[in-house]
Chains A and B, each alone.
Chain A
Amino acid sequence: MVAPTAKKLFSVTLRIWRQAGPQQPGKFVDYPAANVSPDMSFLELLDVVNDGLTKDDGEPIAFAHDCREGICGTCSCTINGKPHGPGKGIATCQLYMRSFADGDTIVVEPFRARAFPLVKDLVTDRSAFDQVQQAGGFISVRTGAAPDANSIPVPKEDADLAMDAAACIGCGACVAACKNASAMLFVAAKVSHLGLMPQGQPERDKRVLAMVQMMDAAGFGNCTNQYECSAVCPKTITHDFIARMNRDYAVALFREKFKPASNASGGAG
């Protein structure tokens, strides 16, 4: 089932960040790669380089990857200074070698941010994103308690916009691209997705306050409105959602300060 390829093969040099662990020093190491097919994906080239390293008694380069079709958000390389590399609207796994030319040196680093500590080589720990979700990235609905789906109409425009925000794959490129390592685009996408749906209204204030608070606690920086985040987002999620979240946050903060508290405490049981 393997096809011969008639395309012209070429050579590149991979300059890759190697670091054995979070406490060890790291450095760039050059790996020449020949017979590169333009139809090969960038990660497939790393596979080939790793097989070569294994055979030559070296240690393969650790890199994060899984679905290899741009949806799971696992892959996370900064390539030639740009998270996910030179393409627009793609993740690292969707980058094909036809984007490079013969003789190129390609610089590959992990996503760098204080909130994403390094694990090894090109792999970082992005569990801070999970913590932000756990703080409030949900609609509290117990299984089995839902009304008929069509009893909650959602205007098509709202559903479409919510879907634009919900397309986020949680890769962290937005954080890696930001000079402040801010997670505003990631958090804004989740807050907006749920805040645009009628189902998300009851917890709208509580959600934005909790998620922003956790974002700050996890060590992400602030937004200074330069939008590198949306420029590198593999799903091209717009920074307009950041403005939307800021508005939600301000409103929620105001309402929290001035809303009279309910006396409710437990049931009448």
Chain B
Amino acid sequence: MKFYKDHYDVIVIGGALAGLSAALMLADKGKDVLVLERHNLPGGIATSFVRGGIEIEAALHEMMSIGPEGNRLKVGKFLEDMGVKIDWLKVPEAYHASLPGLEVTLHPGLETFAKEVDAAVPGTYEKVLKLLNLCHTVFDSVNELSIHPMSKVQMLLKHEAFVKTAGYSTQEVIDTFDLPQKAQDLLAPYWIYVGTGFKTLPFTIFSVLMADYIGYGSYIPHKFSHEMSLKMAERAEQMGVQIEYKQHVEKILVKDGRVYGVRTARGDEIHADYVISAAYPNKVYTSMIEPMSEVPKEAIKMVNGRRLSLTAFSVIMILDKPAEELGIRDYSIFRGDTMDTEALYKDLAGLGPYRYLTCICHNYANPDATPAGTCSFSITTLPRVDGWKTVSADDYDRVKHEVAKQMIDDISKYYGVNLLDHVLEIVIETPMTVAHYTGMWNGCIYGYAHTMEDHIVARLQTAEQEKFIEGLEFAGAHQISGDGMGPAVTNGRKAAKNVLDDMKKKEAAK
């Protein structure tokens, strides 16, 4: 029986957001694409599951880079351009910050946000707005430069703020604004979504995060992130992409420095001119390339020289009362007993108690999220892989329950309601859950940490030198734009663009 064509232009390993974005863009240019996904549905962690008849979001808190209808940002626009029509729901607020001495709900819109910070910490409006505007200027530059690279001199003339802040950490730039600590704290909650403390997080990344989320607000798909993943997959198939589920790629086949195909766990050897891998470079260069002699030592040094970023630990509950009755008032709550991101980052290397938690109640953006009389409520922390690497299979269930209980108890105390008295369904997602369903290296969903030693600007500068095998591209959180579902789409597009550029080059050389 023959299940595959003799040859494809491109094989994409992994049918999650990055892989599907790459497939869409390649199919749009008429390329013959095969997507191989190990699970039996698309999306990776951008998915949902059903428990007790109730559909539950697996991972998405909020999508950045979507933007309102008629003024879509890059991810929202790309999906529309590809003919993927998502029923986006706007998340009502930026977040509620529950921090020492602060209980403040902040809304998107740079001026609104600055006003709300000012109401909580008087006298800060001008400074906060100036900082947010700086973020926005840098954000605009990043978007433009990622499409239209230019010389350094030109860059300095046209993108001065971007150039002049690129070499500094978030804290270094924030310090120049002379803001009171409380105002700084109110600007910090999203730090967890980029997963590095402010002394090491590039200001460039902070800028993109703040300008995108605070400037334009965030969105979720009406029918959970599965709606987005499935619509992307369906559209790709409509455009001629072959997607095969339950196909686990074990080997990437290389000869004389160039890829020529893959081999699956089932034993199928499939040929293609290009391979785009969502599997981590760590896994690809240490166990997937066949033969291993095709892996140069520079590739190993590159993956060893980078630090894995965060994974996820989430307690997802369906509660048997409407949110208001339980005192849950916001879509997203960031709660910490400190907003010292360095101290919090240190904690993330352990196994709890985690002092900084993110709570999401989907019903506030999507009233149909759960049946009448119930609500969906999740508590998440994004730990580093270090602590979880020490947990054995026999200890796993105990540790997972202990950590989950600490998190529920902490939030119960905050609301003055024992959430455990209202649990209709509960699912505890751990780094191991991520590893099980997606095969992600060490369950890491955040790729490599954004740091001053692995800066997005540097990533862009050296991208060409980091191609060790011809025809092999990567798409996923481990790529230039880093973690998050929005950046996953951007990373996928970048991989597809690299393939298309290379094809053009080859075509021109003929």
Judge: A and B partners, yes or no: no
Q: Which residues of chain B have a CB within 8 Å of any CB of chain A?
A: none
Q: Which residues of chain A have a CB within 8 Å of any CB of chain B?
A: none
